[in-house]
Structure 1
Amino acid sequence: MSFLHHLFDRFLHTRHVTRHFARRLILDTLTLGRAPTPATSPDLLSRELQRAASDELPALIERLQSDPAGLSDAQAAAALAQHGPNEVEHEKPLPAWLHLWHCYKNPFNVLLTVLALISYLTEDHEATVVILAMVVLSTLLRFVQEGRSNRAAERLKSLVSNTATVLRRSGAEGEDRAATPRELPIHQLVPGDHIVLSAGDMIPSDCRVLTAKDLFVSQSAMTGESLPVEKFAERSQPGTSALDATNLLFMGTNVVSGSATALVVATGNHTYFGTLATRVTATDRTPTAFQAGVNSVSWLLIRFALVMVPIVLVVNGFTKGDWLEAFLFALSVAVGLTPEMLPMIVTSTLAKGAVLLSRKKVVVKRLDAIQNFGAMDVLCTDKTGTLTQDKIFLERHTDVFGHNSDEVLAFAYLNSHYQSGLKNLLDHAVLEHVELQTDLRLAQDYRKVDEVPFDFVRRRMSVIVSERNDHHELICKGAVEEMLDVCTQVRVVEDTGVQDLPLDATLRARVLEVTRGLNNEGLRVVAVAMKETPPHQTVYSVADESGLTLIGYVAFLDPPKESTAPALKALAAHGVAVKVLTGDNELVTLKVCREVGLAVQGVLLGKDVDALDDAALARAADTHNVFAKLSPLHKERLVRALRAGGHVVGFMGDGINDAPALRAADIGISVDSAVDIAKEAADIILLEKSLMVLEEGVMEGRKTFSNMLKYIRMTASSNFGNVFSVLVASAFLPFLPMLPLHLLVQNLLYDLSQIAIPFDNVDEELIRNPLKWNPGDIGRFMVFFGPISSVFDITTFAVMWHVFGANNEGAQTLFQSGWFVVGLLTQTLIVHMIRTPKLPFVQSVASVPLLTATVLIMAVGIFIPMGPLAGHFKLQALPLAYFPWLVGILAGYVLLTTVMKRWYVRRYGWQ
């Protein structure tokens, strides 16, 4: 497992350098060893935040028992005692003993433990050792594999110590009223504190803005919106939703630019982030499709054993008259019927898949997720940061009619280059586009004269530059509607030349039509305008933003990752439907879907989800594949609706708003750049940006499932055939057809031959589509193929009885030796007969480890009665005349199984 340690060492190093700000808050709030306060219900929290946004500041400060200048040390200490530390509930790692218990508890392990105890009490020590060895190996393998992954993930949470700048008043009440800024640990923040924020800071709690200067906050981790939003100190109108309030800041988001002071209104579990984190950790995970499938198959086989074992006991008790011997034999049959290798085969197969994926830089936190990958038929994915790069790029620079224009790009570049305020993501996109894709050297020909800063009332900003000192140019860029209000002309480029036309109603409608078209492509449109001004003017104001000429637009996009389109195409080819669940608006989402080649089958918005009951939502979730403007709980509800409809659902996301859905899915998938609460809720973490690893994970999961299914089918059918043969033999033989010791040795050798199954080859046809557990199919398979072996077991009985004279108690050892060899060899051969629907050894060849194991076990099976150890096993050497009969019986078994397999495939298929 050194792969995992190596990958996590790399991961820790790169994350420490590149994602410092993105985890400043969350890593600290997810602190072990403290008892966080109970969480607020989502509805109550929403009402409290709405009230905090709409209250007058003096009333809010009074309600929080704060002070206009900030809390005193005494007030803060009292508030800390009342509200508790500013820490968010998280899923604490299980104690080792409890993790070991979770790795152990499943129906088969419990049943095997009971059988081991009975074997011990009846002094059958060989059976006790064999059974307990199976249980211990499977449990420890899972414990070690999951433990190493979980410990590596926990190391991510202790990298950075976090503080916040807090305004606190020292001294007693009525004395020193001046508040001084202090750097305090985030967990010491309390409601009523005043904090100071600047660019790069994470928001340490839910806050109301007191003062703001050009404050832009990225809420993409919370809402899924790509672009930052500006925040203001003005109170919101009553009834405004909490996430839409422009004066509220939320824990876990971060300041992109500007500065502010803010009043802490909620901390810890009472924050918006806290309610999501608590929802993720407070409820147990719903059993995944894998767990439900294994349990259903387990109970199918257990019920079968509970029916057959008493019948064996009664038949042998009455026919032989020795009830103690009959009980021991029935107990051996119970052990033989129980696929005791199932937990170990399942765990080792999953662990092998985890190691293979770790080489592809995928961390598997829960082994069950490997098989769920293969069973997944619906992948729900967030958009921002998952399908897209979560970075704004300049997509278009056009004239007013939508044709490419270098002039517009040049003016946009000058505006972004010369503004003195903190440049936002759009400015950086313009500057990077020009520097990377053009040879413009405009700044060399201009000097800056003045600027009119951006504000969200005007929603535009201007710079004034001078070109070679002969005139000034006022260059303005901003939102389209607001820009049209200050424009009186439109620059039109035609074949005959460039001319400035008056902006009349017709041209205005044309402009709006072009910009709406760009919006419909999912682009964020910014208009660019200019005018020439006298060279003697040196001071400019908002009043100068008039009489402008609209030149064109720059349009921006959060583009998809390069790996998204081929990954989605590969998933679709393998039967996995992809659905997009995002908090962003539908226009941007539809544009991304078009970019990645995802055909839209219907769009549903968050408000539509609210209007549907669970049954209607389940139907809508099936028929739609794009869901936009969703809240975190909308995403969770959609995932649960899909699961309720019988789908095996994967969810891929990286934001705070994705955590509940990650938890609710059969398999939660996150990426290396995700916030920590998302990685905590996920089952699988991709350490590389490429989404093609999803397709590789799906195929690995299907191979894992296919190999597990092989073992279950082989064991179930051969065990059923053995018990059927035992019943037939018990009815007419004057002695036991096989001693309990023979059954246990045969079972152990057969199980040893199965250890190589996790490394077996898988036919491509078997993994083209999602694979699911189907207990009914396994039961039918068991009943169909099991009696085939019984036909040849009964043939063996007849040969031993009539040909070799093993027809009395004195010859029972010869009879038992003959059936021991046939039973073991047919059980071992069945591996190759039903591991594939194709012709074995010709059309589909098993892996070298499995072929080697088969040959070795068959050789050992023949050696035991023929070698010097035969007496220890209460067997005897078989006459040489037996072996031609053995070859004929095995050949007939292979031929009949092949014929019946082809009929079965035509009738029922082969999952």
Structure 2
Amino acid sequence: MSETQRQNIARETGKPEITDLKTGLSSQDAALRLEQFGLNELDQVKPESIWSILLRQVNSIIVWILAAAAVVSFFLGDNLEGFAVIAVILINAITGFVLEYNARQSMEALRKLDTTPARVMRDSKIKEVPSDQLTMGDILILEAGDLIPADALILEVNQLTVDESALTGESVPTQKTTDQSPEDSPLGDRHDCLFKGTAITNGNAKAVVTNIGQATELGKIATMVSEAKRTATPLEAKLDALGKVLIWVTLAMATLFLIVGFLRGQEVKQLIETAVALAIAAIPEGMSVVATVALAYGMLRLAERKVIVKRLSAVETLGGTNVIFTDKTGTLTQNKIEVHALRVADNDFTVRLNLNTGGAQTLEVIRGDQDLIHSPELEMLARIGALVNNAQLDSKKSDRKELGDPVEVALLSYARTAGIDLHKLHKNYKRQAELAFSSDTRMMATLDQVGTEYFIGVKGAVEEVSALCTWNNQQDRDKELEVSELMAADGLRTLAFAYRQTSQKPGENFTKEEKLTYAGLIGFLDPPRKEVIKSLNACHEAGIKVIMVTGDHPATSLKIAKQVNLVGEDEQLVLTGKDLESFDFTSADDQKKMMECRVFARVNPAQKLEMIDFYQKQGDIVGMTGDGVNDAPALKKSDIGIAMGLRGTAVAAEAAEMVLKDDSFASIVHAIEQGRVIFENIRKFIVFLLSCNMSEIFVVTFAGFLNVGSPLLPLQILFINIITDVFPALALGVGKDNKKLMKSPPRDPKQPILQTADWKRIVYYALVMTTSVLGVYWYAIYKLGLSPEEGNTITFYALSLAQLLHVFNMYSGKLRFSNNEITRNKFIWMALVLCIAIMFATYYIPFLRQILSLQILDIEALELILAAGILPVLVIQTTRLFFPIK
């Protein structure tokens, strides 16, 4: 072992004592180090318990108030009423618990990355050991296809490329060498290091373990995932704030009523019972159930569109999202390398490989002369790419298999699309020799025999390949070097190609015996997903700011951002991880740069967390999409984490609240639309419920102040709230989509769920219904001479009917009363039929009539009920003619 290698290992491990490369660790040394450093496994995080999920369902202010009302009811001897309130609490808790049970997840997904056995050198022999038994100083023996089991420093390497996209976000596999990387290099540029959880795509290597378990880069990310705290969603916060408002309303009305009652000398028990009735009237018992069902219905709609929601409130949260951080690789792009740019004989082409309906690929020329696409020069370029190649591409259209380096797979795919029969080519060209790629030569060459001729093909860095070629003059070569630099600046990975044909069999150094003929350049790109442009345009139209955050190269990131219309063609601003290291997030200038920048490259997981935190502190609702291990902490930190299900890792899905089964960015737009619809539906049915409940409060309190008796009993109020209010509210909650919602900016996340205009409408609606109901109650008692019990029955049915018909006042805009989203909602009509049937049951079934203390009424009383129910709708609709709702 060289002294440089020894120093590098000491730098990486912090331990100058390492094992011998030839013998590896002894079994005894391995056992001692396992005892000293522990197992090579990630810390387990205790999963959320069933009790924790259940507790969350009842941990709200509204539930507490209802529980208090139940306790008071039991204390006063009203057991039936107490049990009824408890039933409401249990129904809501069980519904939410069942729908959220599948959200109980753990960090076990991270541990699944540890199941692959590892080959190590121990006791002078290559042995296979469980990956959790690896320890510091172990010598790893790695080959193509292996999942790297620990962080390690490379000792020997042969054509090694590693797919590090899960950690860095860079789609192109990284070429690894033994050359020392600078200590401050980001992960994507540490070419002498290997990282746990990444995969070897080509070549082989020998490496020494430098970090295990939680100390690995993967382990550090796991720590950030577990430490990232998920706060309450905006909907939960808004409902909680609304609950606090209702508490003060309840306390104020009950206190005022008690004070007036005491001053009048009323019986204490009666006052307390009326106060309980007020508490029950003030709290919309069905609101939590309706919100849960509305969210669940939206969740089922999204499931049909391949969007899986792990937590109900996440659906609404996405609807309020105004900033989305998106990963590049696999989210905006296909995570698949393709030939993108070609250059031969001073002709430049930009191409795209498309799949037709039959599964075959076709070549589309985006820029360049279409007539030259099948020229001999381009055919030669494609042939060299297919010959100087160790990848495999199954020729079958169905179940197509790709093995090898992704760049070489892309060359084979392009060659086949360009018209080359790969099977025939490899049958005719018999490989005689190969010069493997190395960090020293920076190129690969093959020698093939075709008949009595020999064909030499070379691919590699343009500087090295062009130096082996014949040129008319130095200016021609400089031109190719310049074009290659322009391609690289445009985000492309470039390779140059050259060849020589001869009748004499070349020697071992066949690339340098004679000058080669320069064939041209190929630029490779991870192409964008086709549906992304339309989806991003929809986000822009909806006022949603989309920001790319990736670990990839800045030029590549900006190129993709322009291709998908994330930024304009003249945009040049890209901030990197190094730029962010020097940022002062309290500085106005740095804050301005952050707000203006749409593309962030070479960003590590910790910096993603900082960026999300920055926007959250600005008051934004932040969504984060991603698929890699490196995205997991940010997915959990964001207000709404969205993981890709096809290409995504189990770790990303674990940390996210939503998973896209089709990896389609278009599904995000649909989910945003659905979230907005759900919020609008929730706002609508809350207005409905609160105006109904406030009418109950006004009926009880105004009757008390006017000293005209108790027109409603507590159990009657509870029955109205959980039956005749809930079903129409449920119908409002599952209303159809409103396309207009995606044509306007997101609502202000700082605003409460109900605006001032909403509260004014609630009070107005309640006063209209109260006036109508109390009017017929007063008429029945004082004009018709009915008993208080009969007046109570009239009030019960009159208020029930008024509230049922009140649902027709909930349409928005200037739509006609007879043709709007309410009258077109079949669930509204189903709810009305069901509720009216229930009301008939309470009247004609003696058992129910007795429980609710209802009396038999005559025809005149029924006419009063109909008048009291219809009059509020007529008054409110007449008002809307002059003061339409926006």
| Residues 763-772 or 427-436, more deviating | 763-772
Please list the CA deviations of residues 669-705 of structure 1 after superposition, one character each: whole Å capped at 9, or x if unmatched: 1112212221111111122243332232223222322
Q: Secondary structure at the match of 1:680?
A: helix
What residue number does 2:676 align with? 702
Do the aligned partners of residues 694 and 780 (structure 1) sit closer, same or farther apart at CA in structure 2, a change above 3 Å counting?
Answer: same
Contact 2:644 2:662 in 1 (8 A): yes
Question: Which string of whole-angstrom CA distances, capped at 9 and with x for unpartnered residues, describes residues 248-272 of structure 1?
Answer: 1111111111111111111111111
Q: Closer, same or farther in 2 for the Cα pair 1:449/1:195, shift >3 Å?
A: closer
**Corresponding residue for 2:447?**
464
Q: Which one-letter code corresponds to 1:526 in the other structure?
A: L
Which residue is equivalent to 1:481?
Answer: 463
3-state secondary structure, aligned to 1:565: helix
Q: 1:284 to 1:415 in 2, by over 3 A?
A: same
Asked if 1:78 is matched to 2:32, the reply is yes
1:380–1:579: 8 Å Cα contact kept in structure 2?
yes
8 Å contact from structure 1 (residues 309, 334) kept in 2: yes
Q: 1:224 to 1:364 in 2, by over 3 A?
A: same
- Distance between the aligned counterparts of 2:517 and 2:766, measured in 1? 89
Q: Distance in 2 between matches of 1:566 and 1:666?
A: 24
Whole-Å Cα distance in 1 between the matches of residues 480 and 752 of structure 2? 62
Letter in 1 for 2:709: F
Residue 658 of structure 2 aligns with an amino acid whose one-letter code is I
C-alpha distance in 2 between matches for 1:152 and 1:206? 24
1:150-299 paired onto structure 2 within 5 Å = 150=104, 161-169=115-123, 179-237=124-182, 239-241=184-186, 243-299=188-244
Aligned partners of 1:393 and 1:713: how far apart in 2? Answer: 54
In the other structure, the counterpart of 1:811 is 787
Q: Does 1:580 align with 2:548?
A: yes
Partner SS, residue 440 of structure 2: coil
Paired residue secondary structure (1:594) = helix
1:6 equivalent in structure 2: none
Distance 1:779 1:749, change over 3 A: farther
Give 2:701's aligned residue: 727
Cα deviation per residue 1:586-641 (whole Å; 9 max; x = unaligned)?
Answer: 32223222332333465333233333323456544433322222112222222222
Q: 2: CA distance between counterparts of 1:621 and 1:61?
A: 36
Does residue 1:569 correspond to 2:537, yes or no? yes
Moved more, 568-577 or 150-159: 150-159
Question: Is 1:765 the counterpart of 2:740 in the alignment?
Answer: yes
Q: Aligned with 1:614: secondary structure?
A: coil
Question: Which residue, out of 346, 361, 377, partners 2:291?
Answer: 346
Q: Displacement, 1:90? A: 5.2
Give me the whole-angstrom Cα distance separating, in 2, the residues matched to 1:901 and 1:154: 57
CA distance in 1, matches of 2:308, 2:4: 41
Residue 306 (str. 1) matches residue 251 (str. 2): yes
- Corresponding residue to 2:319 among 365, 374, 377: 374
Residue 608 (structure 1) aligns with: 579
Please name the residue that 2:15 is paired with: 63
Q: Aligned partners of 2:524 and 2:105: how far apart in 1? A: 41
Which amino acid in 2 is paired with 1:231?
A: K
Does the Cα contact within 8 Å between 2:201 and 2:405 map onto a contact in 1?
A: yes
**Cα deviation, residue 65, structure 1:** 4.5
Is it true that 1:790 corresponds to 2:767 in the alignment?
A: yes
Moved more, 85-94 or 625-634: 85-94
User: Is the CA contact (8 Å cut-off) linking 2:160 and 2:204 kept in structure 1?
Assistant: yes
Match for residue 124 of structure 1?
78
Partner of 2:437: helix, strand, or coil? strand
The yes-or-no answer on 1:875 pairing with 2:844 is: no
Alignment match, 2:615: 642
User: Quick one: distance in 2 between partners of 1:407 and 1:824?
Assistant: 84
Q: Return the offset for 1:885.
A: 4.3
What's the counterpart of residue 833 of structure 2? 855
Relative distance call for 1:800 and 1:659 in structure 2 (3 A) is closer
1:795-845 per-position Cα deviation (integer Å, ceiling 9, x unaligned) = 44344435652699x832233223222222222222231253444442232
Q: Aligned in 2, Cα 1:605/1:103: closer, same or farther, shift over 3 Å?
A: same
Give the partner amino acid of 1:634: Q
Name the aligned partner's letter for residue 7 of structure 2: D
Say which of 640, 643, 657 aligns to 1:670. 643
- Give 2:368's aligned residue: none
Match of 2:624 in 1: 651
Q: In the alignment, does 2:867 pair up with 1:896?
A: no
Residue 164 of structure 1, CA deviation: 0.8
Structure 1: where are the runs of 5+ without partners?
1-50, 170-178, 490-500
Letter in 1 for 2:504: P
Q: Where does the alignment leave 5 or more consecutive residues of structure 2 unmatched? A: 350-372, 392-403
Offset of 1:559 from its aligned partner?
Answer: 0.9
AA in 2 matched with 1:462 = A
Decide whether the 8 Å contact of 2:164 with 2:170 is kept in 1. yes
1:579 & 1:904 partners in 2: Cα distance?
41
SS of 2:42's partner is: coil
Contact 2:429 2:449 in 1 (8 A): yes
Q: Which amino acid in structure 2 is aligned with residue 383 of structure 1?
A: K
Seen in structure 2, the aligned counterparts of structure 1 residues 877 and 620 have a Cα distance that, compared at 3 Å, is: farther
Q: Is the 8 A contact 1:301 1:716 kept in 2?
A: no
Indicate whether 1:434 and 2:405 are aligned.
Answer: no
2:370 corresponds in structure 1 to none
* Cα 1:452/1:119, change in 2 over 3 Å: same
> What is the distance in 2 between the residues matched to 1:461 and 1:716?
74
Report the residue type matching 2:829 in the other structure: L
Say whether the 8 Å CA contact 2:691–2:765 is kept in structure 1.
Answer: no
For residues 41-93 of structure 1, the C-alpha deviation after alignment (integer angstroms, 9 at most, x for no partner) is xxxxxxxxxx9999344787892654213222222222222222212235442
Residues 614, 100 of structure 1: alpha-carbon distance in 2 compared, 3 angstrom cutoff: same
**CA separation in 2, counterparts of 1:240 and 1:702?**
43
- Corresponding residue number in structure 2 for 1:744: 718
Report the residue type matching 1:820 in the other structure: F
Tell me the secondary structure at the aligned position of residue 395 of structure 1: strand
Greater shift after overlay, 510-519 or 413-422? 413-422
Write out per-residue CA displacement over residues 495-518 of structure 1, whole angstroms, 9 at most, x where no aligned residue. Answer: xxxxxx3233xx344334433443
Aligned partner of 1:528 in structure 2 is 497
Q: Is the 8 A contact 1:52 1:265 kept in 2?
A: no
Q: 1:206 Cα shift?
A: 0.9
Contact 1:761/1:846 (8 A) holds in 2: no
- Relative to structure 1, the CA distance from residue 815 to residue 772 in structure 2 (aligned partners, 3 Å threshold; closer, same or farther) is farther
Deviation at 1:330, TM superposition (A): 0.7
Q: Cα offset for 1:573?
A: 3.9
For residue 483 of structure 1, what is the amino acid of its counterpart? V
Residue 509 of structure 2 corresponds to residue 540 of structure 1? yes
Aligned to 1:385: 330
Confirm whether residue 363 of structure 1 aligns to residue 296 of structure 2. Answer: no
Shift of 1:466: 5.0
- Displacement of 1:337 in angstroms is 0.9
Query: SS at 1:71's partner residue?
Result: coil
- 2 CA distance for matches of 1:871 and 1:226? 72
Match of 1:693 in 2: 667
CA separation of 1:64 and 1:168: change in aligned 2, threshold 3 A: farther
| Worse overlay, 338-347 or 755-764 | 755-764
- The one-letter amino acid paired with 1:94 is E
TM-score by length of 2: 0.86
Q: Is the 8 A contact 2:388 2:459 kept in 1?
A: no
Range moving further from structure 2, 455-464 or 840-849 = 840-849
Q: Partners in 2 of 1:586 and 1:333 — Cα distance?
A: 63
**1:553: how far off?**
0.8
Question: In 2, Cα distance between the equivalents of 1:299 and 1:550?
Answer: 76
CA distance in 2, matches of 1:191, 1:835: 68
Q: Which amino acid aligns with 1:645?
A: Q
AA of the residue aligned to 1:744? L
Report the CA distance between 1:313 and its aligned residue: 2.5
